[in-house]
Amino acid sequence: METTVVKAKTKGGPNLKKELQKYFGFDGFKGQQEEIIRSVLNGIDTFVIMPTGGGKSLCYQLPALISEGVALIVSPLIALMKNQVDLIRGYSDDDNVAHFLNSSLSRVQQRKVKADLTEGKTKMLYVAPETLTKKENIEFFSDINISFVAVDEAHCISEWGHDFRPEYRKLRDMITEINPNLPIIALTATATPKVQDDIVKNLELKDPRIFIDSFNRPNLYYEVVPKTSKAQVLKHMVRYISQVKGKSGIIYTLNRKTTEELAGMLGANGIKAVAYHAGLDATTRALRQDQFLKDDVEVIVATIAFGMGIDKPDVRFVMHYNIPKSLENYYQETGRAGRDGGNSKCILYYSYKDVQKLEHLMRDKPLSEREMGAQLITETVAYVESGACRRRLLLHYFGEIDRIENCGHCDNCCHPKEKLDVKDSVKIVLDAVNELDERFGINYVVDLVLGKNNPQIKTFKHDKFKSFGAGLIMEMDDTFWQSLIRQMMLEDFVRKSQVLSRPSSSPEAMALSSTGKTLHAGRASSHLHFLTITPMSSDCTGSGPGRDILQTLQAG
């Protein structure tokens, strides 16, 4: 499929600028907005990859307002639809200009929306994919004048995307049934090259123009802080938030219980914080979102259900209490900081136990979903444990491989890691994994090389192995060895065993990969970069809450 990737600067367009001023009161466009809008108005299939805060919504909102008919806007969340509709109505004297149609509306409300559509009063209709699956709705949409279809959060289409929604993959068939000639604009803030290809293919975009903005957010400072305990993380959070008193921030967690606990503990330390999650009723969620937007609270502690479409430009920090499920999730969530261009901080608290929790949550999912989820987690762990420039790692992940210089605005750039030679340590691990014969996991391997006489090691007589206690000479602790083994997994020196039928074998059992076997036999040399995380980090100005002593270890 032939595509045109557009990275040119926006050309002047006085008519569009006049319309922009008329409808939104803005004096000019940002980035490639004007060119994207012209593409949509010309009936060309269009694909937009634009970071959070870049102005994606305007790329379909303005064309909808100045085109004949109504634009169908597919959106994944009811809260997101309501927020967007409220924003559009805020720019207009007529509330009928935008509606949403989903399961939250009563039958009477749905009839009112359809009446406005039939009478041509509405320019934008936000719908969930499920709304389009209903035959009565497809028949209705087939009979009204639709200008184009906008697919927001288009990464939901791809199985490789971080928020895959199976119903999104049916959109092409539903659009074809309504009108096969409708132009489409697909938009997302986060899409790797693989996800981009999947979106274009699945939506069957015809010779689309593809607009890609840089994923670089130079005003965001990225850092990773070790998580050793709840108390330690809370102390770090309170210290940092107190230093930026009065500023807005978001803290993301993986479950509802933690949002409530953290919000309560922050409140007990004099910080105005509220929890936000899907378990709260709609009224409470709306109230807390409004409190955050109006600065009545400083911090909102939320699951990933919060943030999509929220227009608060002055968020000064985003914290992740747990490691995110993917780098796409991480990028999108950190992207809610500093949308006004002001310096903002993105702090991720990391413990490998959180990775194990994510893996545990995936255990009952279908095999293909588990495999994709495992790959996304592995990529996130590689980012977290790397000693390289974090901005470079993120940009490379999203396909911006031509950016090679370090950013000077992340923990790894501001505090370069000490390089240590771990060639001998790698050999010790390879020996241990080989001796254990694919029956034991990371923690057991660490206990073995550190010579721990636990009951299991005694029972299996592994204290007689050559590798028993072999790591003591390195004078490193459990954290070092666990981090080393994880990086060896990322480099495919060792892997999880596929042999689960052996007596006493662990489901987390380690095995040598083909590369590891070659290294173990001495037929090749290893080259490995990674870090071990020890207490507290600070930004380049030295104004952060502590000093970071991270180490990059090198085997070669």
Residue 544 falls within a domain, yes or no? Answer: no
Alpha helices in 91-167 (DSSP H): 107-118, 129-133, 135-142
Residues 11 and 92 in one domain: yes
> For the CA atoms of 79, 82, 83, 87, what is the dihedral angle to 10 degrees?
170
Name the one residue in this structure whose structure tokens are 């659009």: 175
Which one of 212, 245, 261 terminates a domain? 212
Residues 242 and 356 in one domain: yes
Residues 179 and 299 in one domain: no
CA distances (Å), 314 to each of 249, 263, 293, in order? 9, 20, 10
| DSSP codes, 216-234 | --TTEEEEEEE---HHHHH
Cα–Cα distance measured from residue 123 to residue 133, given in angstroms and rounded to the nearest whole number: 21
Bridge partners (DSSP) listed for residue 74:
127, 151
Residue 413 falls within a domain, yes or no? Answer: no
Q: Which residues contact 238 (CB under 8 A, 6 or more apart)?
A: 266, 269, 271
What's residue 7's pLDDT?
37
- b/e map 361-384, b = 16+ CB within 10 Å: ebeeeeeeeeebbeebbebbbbbb
What's residue 103's pLDDT?
83
- b/e map 404-440, b = 16+ CB within 10 Å: eebbebbbbbbbebeebebeebbbbbbbbbbebebbb
Which one of 149, 178, 212 terminates a domain? 212
What's residue 158's pLDDT?
83
Q: For strands 551-555 and 528-532, give the pairing.
A: antiparallel
The count of domains in the chain is: 3
Quick one: which of 225, 237, 220 has its CA closest to 349?
225
Question: Running along the chain, 556 residues long, what does each successive block of 10 average in pLDDT?
Answer: 37 72 93 96 96 88 96 87 87 92 90 95 94 92 97 86 78 95 94 90 96 93 94 96 95 95 97 93 88 95 74 93 93 92 96 89 84 85 88 88 80 82 90 93 94 94 96 89 83 75 62 92 69 47 37 40
- b/e map 177-199, b = 16+ CB within 10 Å: ebeeebbbbbbbbbbbeebbebb
Residue 538 falls within a domain, yes or no? Answer: no
Residues 137 and 228 in one domain: no
Bridge partners (DSSP) listed for residue 529:
554
Residue 307 falls within a domain, yes or no? Answer: yes
Which one of 188, 212, 236 terminates a domain? 212
Residue 430 falls within a domain, yes or no? Answer: yes
Domain of 340: which CATH number?
3.40.50.300
Cα–Cα distance measured from residue 1 to residue 194, given in angstroms and rounded to the nearest whole number: 15
The percent of the chain in helix, strand and coil, each rounded to the nearest 5, is: 45, 15, 40
Q: Which amino acid is at 245?
A: K
Q: Are 148 and 109 in contact (CB under 8 A)?
A: no
Query: Tell me, what DSSP letter sits at residue 306?
Result: S
Residue 395 falls within a domain, yes or no? Answer: no
What's residue 3's pLDDT?
39
Residues 94 and 186 in one domain: yes
Query: Tell me, what DSSP letter sits at residue 325?
Result: S
Task: Please give the radius of gyration of the chain, using alpha carbons only, rounded to the nearest integer.
Answer: 26
Residues 244 and 327 in one domain: yes
What's residue 386's pLDDT?
84
Q: Are 151 and 204 in contact (CB under 8 A)?
A: no
What's residue 101's pLDDT?
93
Residues 484 and 524 in one domain: yes
Residues 64 and 86 in one domain: yes
| DSSP codes, 345-404 | EEEEEE-HHHHHHHHHHTTTS-HHHHHHHHHHHHHHHHHHH--S-HHHHHHHHTT-TT--
What's residue 111's pLDDT?
94
Cα–Cα distance measured from residue 17 to residue 21, given in angstroms and rounded to the nearest whole number: 6
Residues 21 and 92 in one domain: yes
Measure CA of the first residue to CA of the last residue in the chain; give whole Å: 44
Q: Which domain holds residue 357?
A: 220-365
Task: Give φ, ψ of 92 to 5 degrees.
Answer: -125, 155
Bridge partners (DSSP) listed for residue 555:
528
Residues 75 and 164 in one domain: yes
Tokens of 469: 């206690």
Cut 0.95: pTM above it? no
Residue 449 falls within a domain, yes or no? Answer: yes
CA distances (Å), 202 to each of 134, 163, 183, 191, 522, in order? 20, 16, 15, 14, 47
Q: For strands 146-151 and 273-276, give the pairing.
A: unpaired
Residues 117 and 204 in one domain: yes
Residue 386 falls within a domain, yes or no? Answer: no
Domain of 477: which CATH number?
1.10.10.10
Residues 168 and 225 in one domain: no
